[in-house]
Amino acid sequence: MSPVRAARELLHGTISAVGLAAGHRIVVGAWHRSPIGAFADVMWAEPDGTRLLLARDERTADYVAGIYLFDRIEVVRLEWTATPSTLSLHAGQLQVDLAASGGRRVSVPRPWWFTRWVEGPIARRLMGVDVHGTSPLGVEEWYQARAWRWIHDGQVRIAGEDQGPLGPPRPPLRVGFSEPPPRPSIIDVAVRLRRPP
């Protein structure tokens, strides 16, 4: 089944991002609402820079790979639960459990132009992120944070092996136009997409 591709699309969920001592960088999108229903995806940059996408099925893989740039795509068994402050995910050989606290909530509704022109410079200066841009495949994106929390506890296992302390997701993953904050975090976010004609 081909993915849904509307002119404008909205997603709401969380983005969790961590780095590991061996050089892996992992970003998990856990989407409670999207054009293809609830799903989670894993964007994984390996120590050598290889960009890997893990998805539960071909439809999800096609949807995410239609926005971002990857070197390899794997369809794996993927189970997840997520809240604005926690993530538990098992995807193939990868197991992630995270808990976050603190940070800030931004519950005031605001238009998307405000996110681009007003929040954009603030987010860039304070958190080192871009909230509006165009993906490598030409999809225009807006990221509107509803809350952000810093990860204070968690564990990542690869093939059953604990990967040790969690750190910043750096160096960049380079799958899209922006990177997650330079500190392990869980962001509660709404995303707007506009595909090219």
Residue percentage of the chain with pLDDT more than 90: 85
Phi-psi region of 7 (alpha: psi -120 to 50; beta: other; left: phi over 0): alpha
**Contact 137/30 with Cβ under 8 angstroms?**
no
Closest CA to 27 of 142, 195, 181, 139: 181
**CB atoms < 10 A from the CB of 196, how many?**
9
Residue 181, C-beta contacts closer than 8 angstroms, at least 6 positions apart:
17, 127, 128, 129, 148, 187
Q: 31-67 pLDDT, tens per residue? A: 999 999 999 999 999 999 999 999 999 999 999 999 9
Question: Above 60 in pLDDT, residue 5?
Answer: no
Question: Above 50 in pLDDT, residue 1?
Answer: no
Q: 72-113 pLDDT, tens per residue? A: 999 999 999 999 999 999 999 999 999 999 877 776 778 999
Closest CA to 15 of 165, 171, 159, 176: 176
- The reported pTM is 0.93
2 secondary structure, DSSP code: P
